[in-house]
Amino acid sequence: MSNSKPGTESKLKILLACGAIACPLFVISFVIQGAIRNGYDPFRHPISSLSIGERGWIQVAGFIITGLLIIAFATGLARTSFFTDASKRVAWLTGLVGLGLTGAGIFSTDPVYGYPADAPLIFSQQSMHGYLHEIFSIPVFIGLPLACFIMRKRFADEKNHRWAGYAVFTGILMLATFILSGLGFKQYAGLENYAGLLQRISIITGWTWMTLLALYILKNASRAKGNS
């Protein structure tokens, strides 16, 4: 790394470490909140509904902080030499995931899908805040699977078949559980009692992959030099 400017390498590692830190913190936060929130059923209700109520600020902060950390991670990805020019799209998609989370925190969800318990059971957002929350959520559940599929080719080119297969598995499972959770939230028979669980599987699947990717690139630091 002798060609790097002083401090560039350490700054890059900090940015990449943001990806390894952000996702576990986010998961731990919503798991604990879902377990202790009165009237909240993690199997049925969306993670976003934790933004509602007296302690809703905790989930709002979780969205925004995680989003900003992932944007920092994406900045680190864009500065590594690990990616080819074509696969640098992964950094852009990861940045959109972070932007989506940040926006989802700023614009909280409406009371939907039976939470809070005294709210009517409605299946779509009613306010501008609610609509914007759904819009910002799209890149979270679409952008990350797309990044996985792009990374599959990057790892395949390296003959790293284990990581290539893992990337495909993550992208498919994340999309499948996201679609099924959406059907469950719309109260499709047989899925309505597990919509929240399916959404959590989607998030945890993608978040685990992103965390391990950050650790993988940090471990191969000799290939993650900053642009000079």
pLDDT tens digits, one per residue of 154-195: 899 889 999 999 999 999 999 999 999 999 988 888 898 999
Residues 6+ positions from 60 with CB-CB distance below 8 Å: 51, 105, 106, 108
Cα separation of 46 and 96, whole Å? 21
Which of 142, 151, 158 has the alpha carbon at shortest distance from 86?
Answer: 151
pTM of this prediction? 0.89
So what's the pLDDT on residue 87?
67
Q: Which two tokens stand for residue 222?
A: 């000799």
Terminal C-alpha separation, the chain: 10
Q: Where are the domains positioned within the chain?
A: 8-223
Contacts of residues 110-118 at CB distance under 8 Å and 24 or more positions apart, as own/partner, are 111/49, 111/52, 112/46, 112/49, 112/185, 113/44, 113/45, 113/46, 113/49, 113/185, 113/195, 114/44, 114/45, 115/39, 115/40, 115/41, 115/44, 115/45, 115/49, 115/52, 116/39, 116/52, 116/53, 117/39
Residues of the chain with pLDDT under 50: 1-3, 222-228
Average pLDDT of the chain is: 88
Tell me the percentage of the chain whose pLDDT exceeds 70: 90
So what's the pLDDT on residue 169?
97
So what's the pLDDT on residue 121?
72
So what's the pLDDT on residue 86?
62
